[in-house]
Amino acid sequence: MLEPKYLFLTSAILCLLYFIGFFKYDKAYKIFTIYLAVGLLIDFIASKLWIWFKIYNIFTAHFYDLFQFVILSYFYSHLLKTKKQLLTIYILLIILPVFLILRFVINPSLFFEYSLLETYLTTMPLIVYSSMHLYNSLGEKPVFYVANIGLLFYLFTSTFIFLLFKLIDVFKMEEFNSTMINTNIILQYIKFGFFFYQWKLIFFNKNEQY
């Protein structure tokens, strides 16, 4: 299995690079930087829970899914333009978290189970927002174009991976578990590659839109 510590190191370096311009660039940049930093923090804590407290980390997926949905929805609200697109974001930003929280209130045991439904509900809107931004960027100088492609790539492929992971769990094919985990780690490295290139465009293409 691939060592996750190198993934954490890569993520940490990426966060530090983006924090360099935190007070210099616009709100979308700040939101994206917070997304990177908090995502790293949640992933790191999830990886250490068993070592520190002998606690399984499955419940941390709920925090990550909800955080990612909220922060990236807010991020795309600063990139998308039309009233219909923004209205879609604002409505889902209210309805979806309320629905997910109510599920845990009604059935607290769900908090300690992985939910494929939750993954889809929090990921598919982001895929739609990302696709909208990609479409809006046609024929003009885009903002966060490269990072958006990285997000779209990762959200789409990782959702497919989680679906396969669930099927593997249902059919008890444990021998494929490590393969699926390694594939997801590789996808994250690819996503970070897009984010590093986006940082390069922001800091070294001074006269171009990023």
Series of mean pLDDT values for 10-residue runs along the chain (210 residues): 77 95 92 96 83 74 94 96 93 96 93 88 96 88 91 92 69 62 88 96 70
What pLDDT sits at residue 171?
58
What pLDDT sits at residue 176?
57
Q: Which domain holds residue 79?
A: 4-204
d(CA 180, CA 157): 12
What pLDDT sits at residue 73?
97
Q: Which pTM was predicted?
A: 0.90
Residue 76 lies in a domain: yes
What pLDDT sits at residue 210?
57
What pLDDT sits at residue 9?
92
Residue 75 lies in a domain: yes
The domain total for the chain is: 1
Residue 173 lies in a domain: yes
Residue 210 lies in a domain: no
Residue 101 lies in a domain: yes
**Torsion sign over Cα 39, 41, 45, 47:** positive
66 within 8 A of 92, measured Cβ to Cβ: no
Instruction: Supply the DSSP symbol for 176.
Output: G
What pLDDT sits at residue 201?
92
Residue 209 lies in a domain: no
The tokens of 142 are what? Answer: 């885009």
Residue 45 lies in a domain: yes
What pLDDT sits at residue 140?
77
